[in-house]
Amino acid sequence: MQKGGAGLHHQPLSTFWDRWARLYDLTQWTNRRANAAAAARTAERIPAGARVLDCAAGTGLFSLAAAERAGFVLCTDLSEAMLERAKRKARRRGLTNLDFVRRDLTALPDPDGSFDAVIAANVLHLLPAPDEAVRELWRVTAPGGRLLLPTYLQGKVGAAYGAVIKIYHGVGFHYEHAFTPETYRTFLERLGLGRATVEVIPGRLPVGLAVLQKPEPSGGPF
């Protein structure tokens, strides 16, 4: 399951992901095609040269994909061990337009409108209050920018992969929400941030790639 976390004040949560960092990419293998496709489709929506923030980035799948198009990517996560693995991957690929910082996606230190595109991939289903996270991510998205929220659709998973999810639960991977494409879109639009599009990326565990476009400011004083 793609990683994430509710906040830095939950210290055991970051400790949990630190412990799993070495095996994390292996846990992603069973759904690798959907994960890779979601990262590629997300990167396609990054404007060339954009300044990008990636939250709950894990070992960097979405950050590295975005860096192929972006001017700069700030790759953030609760877990230092995850970020170290992301750094090594970036070095192997020769990508130099990234920085790596430990951050809480529910309490970002950045000023309003700091980033042309903001990504939070496969984390909202893990959070008790995903609405608070989305509002914080929206705050740091620049006017005219995009908020990109690829999220696992546990509510659409087949019975076969449901058994895999039970195994994940047994070792400590838990989720708070089992979104379907419809309930995910409804959740986002009820936040009052505008129209949300949700593209379903098929896989053993499908991903719903949600995109919200932040309006440009009005052009005149009246």
* Burial class of residue 204 in the structure, from the number of CB atoms within 10 Å of its CB (0-12 exposed, 13-18 middle, 19+ buried): middle
* pLDDT attached to residue 22: 60
H-run or E-run covering 133:
helix 130-139
156: its two tokens: 């659409």
Indicate the pTM of the whole model. 0.84
129-182 tens-digit pLDDT:
999 999 999 999 999 999 999 999 988 765 444 544 454 554 455 678 889 999
60-107 tens-digit pLDDT:
999 999 999 999 999 999 899 989 999 999 999 999 999 999 999 999
pLDDT at 7 over 70: no
* pLDDT attached to residue 21: 53
Nearest residue to 157 via CA among 188, 123, 125, 189: 125
